[in-house]
């Protein structure tokens, strides 16, 4: 609640519990989100006349996101994060596309994802890396099994026609949901 920008002048001590859960999410933005949270929370403590303290519960106190936040080093974090993303070709160095498949049957949801993966691999013939489908980090929501295929591409326009034809255009059974999310905000 305090991280959301509310002003409490008498708050002098802030605790952040379980940071490791957020750091270990399967999302290339996990470190960035933790860094933002810690810097924002630190800005809430000690806004009045008394200095503030921030306590962070973590098993990884030397994680770069935590250390850069500890020293309020926004530039250092940005440089380190951009180096990491460049090395792994994550945005902004490539565009991300998340293909999502869900259905009440785990086997059918996975089969639909595998079908699309095989079609895209045949079409793109190694020009775009198409990984195998994987269970979504939250694998089941409201009785529906979820699978993701995470793509990194140089230009969305070059692959969008194929994605429309192979993912969005087919008449999937009504119990299956299939979607394409360009530049997804989260990968959960």
Neighbours of 141 (CB within 10 A): 11
How many domains is the chain built from? 2
> Do both 63 and 15 map to the same domain?
yes
Q: Which helix (H) or strand (E) holds 181?
A: strand 177-182
State which residues form the domain around 155: 95-182
Statement to judge: residues 75 and 128 lie in one domain: no
pLDDT, tens digit, for every residue of 53-68?
889 999 999 999 999 9
More confident residue, 58 or 2: 58
Q: Is the pLDDT of residue 8 over 80?
A: no
pTM of the model: 0.84
Say whether both 25 and 47 belong to one domain: yes
Q: Which pLDDT score is estimated for 46? A: 67
Within-domain flag for 188: no
Q: CATH code at 105?
A: 3.30.70.600
Q: Are both 76 and 6 inside the same structural domain?
A: yes
Residues 6+ apart with CB under 8 A from 8: 2, 44, 47
Tell whether 76 and 123 lie within a shared domain.
Answer: no
Mean pLDDT of the chain: 90
Task: Tell me if 71 is assigned to some domain.
Answer: yes
Contact 97, 181 (CB under 8 A): yes
The upper half-sphere exposure of residue 181, i.e. CA atoms within 13 Å in the direction of its Cβ, equals: 15
Helix (H, G, I), strand (E, B) or coil at 140: strand
Is there a single domain that holds both residue 117 and residue 79?
no
145 or 47, which is more confident: 145
Three-state helix/strand/coil letters over 89-105: CCCCCCEEEEEEEEECC
Q: Is residue 140 part of a domain?
A: yes
- Asked if the bond preceding 92 is cis, omega within 30° of 0, the reply is yes
């Amino acid at each position: 609640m305090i991280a959301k920008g509310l002003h409490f002048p008498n708050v002098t001590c802030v605790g952040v519990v379980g940071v490791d859960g957020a750091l270990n999410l399967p999302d290339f933005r996990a470190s960035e989100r933790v860094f933002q949270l810690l810097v924002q929370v630190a800005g809430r403590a000690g806004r009045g006349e008394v200095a503030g303290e921030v306590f962070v519960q973590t098993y990884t106190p030397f994680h770069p996101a935590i250390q850069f936040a500890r020293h309020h080093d926004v530039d250092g974090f940005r440089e380190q994060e951009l180096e990491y993303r460049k090395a792994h070709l994550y945005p902004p160095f490539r565009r991300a596309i998340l293909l999502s498949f869900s259905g009440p049957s785990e086997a059918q949801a996975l089969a639909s994802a595998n079908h699309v993966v095989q079609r895209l691999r045949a079409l793109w013939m190694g020009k775009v890396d198409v990984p195998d489908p994987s269970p979504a980090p939250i694998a089941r929501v409201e009785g529906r099994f979820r699978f993701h295929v995470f793509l990194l591409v140089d230009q969305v326009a070059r692959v969008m026609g194929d994605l429309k034809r192979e993912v969005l255009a087919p008449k999937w059974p009504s119990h299956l949901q299939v979607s394409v999310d360009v530049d997804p905000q989260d990968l959960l």
